[in-house]
Amino acid sequence: MAMYDLQPDLYGTPINGGEDHADMRIEVYMALGDDDNIYIIHDKPFQKTLSWIEYDSEEHKLDFIMEDGDLRDFGIPVSPNFKPHLTNTETIAVAEVENGVLKNGGMFPLMKHGGH
C-alpha cells in the first residue's frame, strides 16, 4: 500500500458519525496517495460487508453501500480538490487501520452521480 498524507488543511478532519448505529462510531478518513489513488481509512470494522462506494459530485459526499443494499452515510464531505481524482477513477482502496497497522482492506467499485 502506498504512503498517504491526510493533509487535514486540504481534505478535512476525521468524521465521526452519530450514535444511531455501531458503524456510525467509526472514524473515517479520506486521503490522496502519492500514487494518485484515493484511500479511505477507517479505525474499526464495519458491521456489514462493504460492496461499493457512491460519489455524488453535486452534493460533494460519499456513501458506503453494504452487501444487503444498506446505505452508510458517514457524512464525509468531499473537498473539491478530490473531484478530478474521483471522476477519473473506477475503484477506491478502503482499509481498516488500527494503531498505524493495516488490518484488512481491498479495492471497491466507485459509482458516480451528479454532473461529473
| Tens-place pLDDT, residues 3-37 | 333 333 333 334 444 334 455 567 788 888 888 88
The average confidence (pLDDT) of the chain is: 76
- What are the backbone dihedrals phi and psi of residue 23, each rounded to the nearest 5 degrees, phi first? -65, -25
Question: In total, how many domains does the chain have?
Answer: 1
**In 3D, which of 66, 80, 65, 97 has the Cα closest to residue 32?**
80
Determine the distance from the C-alpha atom of residue 38 to the mean position of all C-alpha atoms in its chain, rounded to a whole number.
8
Return the higher-pLDDT residue of 63 and 11: 63
| Share above pLDDT 90 across residues of the chain, in percent, rounded to a whole number | 20
The domain of 68 spans 4-113
CA 22, 27, 29 angle in degrees (round to 5)?
A: 140
Q: What is the pLDDT of residue 13?
A: 36
Which pTM does this prediction carry? 0.74
